[in-house]
Structure 1
Amino acid sequence: MKRAAFYACLGLALASQVHAADPGVSDTEIKIGDVSIMTGPAAFVGRGFAIGSKVAMEEINAAGGINGRKIVVVTEDDGYIPSRSFQALTKLLEVDKIFALNGTSGTANVLAMMPLITEHKLPTLVSQAPAPLVYQPVRPTVFTFGATYDNAFYAQLKYIHEKVAKPDAVYGLIRQDDDFGKDVELGFERAVKAFKLNAPLRIRFKKGTSNFAAEVAQLRKAGVSVLANGAIFAGAANILAEARKLDMPLTAAQVWSEGIPASAALLAPAGYDFLVGDYVSLVGPANDRFRELAKRFVPEGELKNISRYTYVSYIGMKALAHAMQQCGRELTRACTVEKLRQIKGLETGGLSAPVDFGNEQQLSGTAVAVYQYDAKAATFKALTGFEQY
């Protein structure tokens, strides 16, 4: 009898080991990690992103969770510093025991975390920094949502060439001297070649540059009337401000980060009705519906922080939730990764084109829409729907 009892207990122990949940999963909860920019000059990015995670979490939990388990989001701040991103993810894995990762900060930050993501076979949604460096080569557990800056600038310049610019328009480029800037320039060169544009000037500048008087003087001297502005946040605003000082008639294509309220407010004083290409919706019924949903779960004072980064976070969390739901109660990281690979045509309520990871790069959200900012009204309007470029 004692031996039988021993083997019975041993069998139960082995069975429990076989069915032991992966880290971050309990009988009642699933922990999802966010590494985001919550402090520093770009903190408004992280604040917007955090709202998307919260709204998705609360919406899912209010509907019963993931097969009876509630989602819990754990956020760590990296201040947009890659070394801190590595430390933040280390803490999320070793202390908080997260199951998957939704927030990943910037491109260099994702790459800094990649060894940990690979080692732990961590299901990861990258939507803040959908750069080719993230998905080329493909990492088995990493799924990227978003378009390239290449496609975003090509889409804008195509629209400008076909709908806005005069036949004698002169095109110019100003961009950071780094991998981000290279991607912007790829889109510029694609458009120049495709439409045989008159483009005599390409200017590069070091990250952190704040005074663009000399660069803008070069643009004016070359007669540039259409500008691919490959700077972000204050840099982009300073470039347009210098152009206004010189009273340059200018149509400007911008990075999608300039489509968030905080950035648009910086650019608005220059008075240019600039364009933005983006893989999420900036205005329209989908955004109105999301805001109404957010009011149920987000304090009124935080609603002002809703931005394009809110939408990418929300979509990423919903995709993760969809995959986890398909795994049933026996939830594992391996199953979640497999179900993410099987996502095809997942609707986002109009916030983006449908999500589809069924491709070799595990890449979705590549369709781009073009928007124009009305500086006087401080609002965006859609110029195109989501299109592949």
Structure 2
Amino acid sequence: MPGAAIHVVGIAIAALWRRPASGREAAPGRRWRILLLWLAAAACWPAQAEPGVYPNRIVIGQSIGMTGPLSSLARQCAIGAKAYFSEINAQGGIYGRKIEMVSRDDGYQADVARANTERLLNVDRVFALFGHAGWPGIDASLPAITRARVPFLFPCTGAPSLYRNVNRYVFTMRASYTREYRYLLERFGRFGVKSVALVYQNNSFGRQLLSGLEEEAAARSIALSPIEGSTEGNFPALIRRMMALRPDAVLLVNGDPAINSAVVRGMQEAGYQGRFFGASVIGVRALADALGPLSRGVIIAQVVPSPWQVSMPLVADYRKTMLGSGVSEFSFGSMEGFISARVFVEALRRAGRNPTREKLINALESINEYNFDHRGFPLNFSPNRHGGSDYVDTTVMAGDAVFVN
């Protein structure tokens, strides 16, 4: 019952309570009538609404590094998701509710990301968290997210901590960084690579990746030489050390575009003729901007289909949506955000007209390649599998922001 009708019931109860009992209406009978009116009002009063769910909108939130070292990738993910949400909203939303996404900048700082996440949960009271970006901030925020029992959906990162165990509230759409780098090591045999100089950042995240890759390389009889990457100090000496190793390939295992571009440029200027490899985390757009033609031939692992693979229906949908939202610059990052938004919208539909967080989780767990129109990019979720895809492919930079398979 609308609020106005409930208000009328309240007025009737108050009037009945104040009116003296007549001779024909005993006090007990009048009290029964008042009780029945109160019960009717209680039955009509709406139940406590789910956080973030309103009559005409559903509010979700994210903390991403719109500034900072990985801002290019984070912004692209958000652009792709917002483009798809805008398309859905223009069609009237889901069951009449439009999707509103609150984005907060954390500058790739863990403490800021944690504070942003707490604000999204406790102040903005979002329905779900969607598309967080930044490994350090996600690791710092996950305990609070799990305690709050809020769905944490499709972060734009392959942070290994998201993949170790099934967390009821965490869903990923893409392969992990570990999976990407292992894929590259598996493919090195095709390129005749037997020795690799691995450039990593000496922090907790870099060391996590390095540990797993050392084991994988040893199992494949690949000689791996870890090099701590930094643009500070004597960088020319670092390049001389790498050149002395005479590696068949250089593997970029970090997300800092400044380090990656300096390594590629320094090695090429020193006469290096081998291959450079990296994963989606390395910041390909920033790398292309920094290197220009020098980026030609750099091989990158990607976790979503190429935005230039126009024969795939999903890619055609993506390009149409992006152009419809006024974005003519295509990227793997915005493709990732677009796919994540498609899956979220599908889960929201399956959650029904009165969605709750638990209904959303159950809906997500029901999505698989046989009952979802994946348009060429299969995704499979279940109660025991919250990682939708293990897809990894390689692309080659063409000397600008365009890639070829």
TM-score range, shorter chain: 0.7 to 0.9
Look up the match of 2:83: 55
2:240 to 213, 217, 232: 217
Q: Show the 5 A alignment for 1:278-293.
A: 278-282=302-306, 283-285=308-310, 286-287=314-315, 289-293=317-321
- SS of corresponding position for 1:92: helix
Structure 1 or 2, whichever has the larger Rg, is 2
What letter matches 1:365 in structure 2? S
Distance 1:281 1:184 in 2: 24
Bigger mean CA deviation after superposition, 121-130 or 235-244: 121-130
Pair 1:228 & 2:251 matched: yes
What letter matches 1:145 in structure 2? M
What letter matches 2:221 in structure 1? K
Distance 1:126 1:90 in 2: 18
What letter matches 1:94 in structure 2? N
Change (3 A) 1:136 1:196: closer
- SS of corresponding position for 1:145: coil
Q: Show the 5 A alignment for 1:1-389.
A: 1-10=30-39, 12-13=41-42, 16=45, 19-162=47-190, 164-165=191-192, 169-185=194-210, 188-189=213-214, 192-197=217-222, 199=223, 201-205=225-229, 209=232, 212-232=235-255, 233-258=257-282, 260-282=284-306, 283-285=308-310, 286-287=314-315, 289-298=317-326, 300=327, 303-304=328-329, 306-345=330-369, 346-350=372-376, 353-358=377-382, 360-375=384-399, 379-382=402-405
Change (3 A) 1:123 1:271: closer
Shift of 1:82: 1.3
Shift of 1:131: 2.0
Distance 1:370 1:74 in 2: 33
- SS of corresponding position for 1:228: strand
- SS of corresponding position for 2:166: coil
Shift of 1:80: 1.0
Look up the match of 2:9: none
TM-score (norm 1): 0.85
- Gaps (5+ residues) in structure 2? 1-29
Change (3 A) 1:117 1:231: closer
Shift of 1:175: 1.3
Look up the match of 1:386: none
Distance 2:374 2:236 in 1: 43
What letter matches 1:253 in structure 2? F
Change (3 A) 1:265 1:371: same
Look up the match of 2:12: none
- SS of corresponding position for 1:76: strand
Shift of 1:143: 0.8
Distance 2:289 2:233 in 1: 17
Look up the match of 2:26: none
1:214-246 deviations in whole A, cap 9, x for unaligned?
A: 332222112112111113311111111110121
What letter matches 2:384 in structure 1? E
Distance 2:57 2:161 in 1: 33
What letter matches 1:338 in structure 2? N
What letter matches 1:349 in structure 2? R
Shift of 1:287: 3.9
Distance 2:295 2:82 in 1: 35
Distance 2:116 2:351 in 1: 28
- SS of corresponding position for 2:172: strand
Change (3 A) 1:118 1:312: same
Distance 2:179 2:144 in 1: 30
Distance 2:108 2:224 in 1: 35
Shift of 1:2: 4.9
Answer whether contact 2:66 2:75 (CA < 8 A) is retained: yes
Identity of aligned residues (%): 25
- SS of corresponding position for 2:252: strand
Answer whether contact 1:29 1:69 (CA < 8 A) is retained: yes
Answer whether contact 1:260 1:307 (CA < 8 A) is retained: no
Shift of 1:277: 0.7
Change (3 A) 1:210 1:56: farther
Instruction: Count residues in correspondence.
Output: 369
Change (3 A) 1:240 1:250: same
Distance 1:124 1:253 in 2: 31
Change (3 A) 1:222 1:251: same
TM-score (norm 2): 0.82
